[in-house]
Amino acid sequence: VSFECADLSGADLEGANLSGAIFSRAVLENANMKRCNFENPATGKGADFGGTNLNGVQLEDSILVKANLRVASLRGANLKNCN
């Protein structure tokens, strides 16, 4: 699934299975993404957050294994208990 360049500011995606999703250059500021799964075991890849605005995003208890967070902005993000 591709959310490339999408504005998902404040979106409530809690608990969603977003394995391998593409979020590059998207805006996810203040989104609720607690308990989400971003890992795709079939491909061995994680979600692509390259260049994404993740300021204030809630990622508590999410699976970020192999996620691409290069050049992502994580100011004020909650990454508690992520793996």
Give yes or no for a contact between 33 and 15, defined as CB atoms under 8 angstroms apart.
Answer: no
**From first to last of its 83 residues, what are the pLDDT tens digits of the chain?**
899 999 999 999 999 999 989 999 999 999 999 999 999 888 888 999 999 999 999 999 999 989 999 999 999 999 999 99
pTM across the whole model = 0.91
The neighbour count for residue 83, using CB atoms within 10 Å, is 8
Q: How far apart, in Å, are the Cα atoms of 2 and each of 21, 53, 83?
A: 6, 16, 22
Query: If we measure between CA atoms, which residue out of 26, 5, 77 comes closest to residue 64?
Result: 77
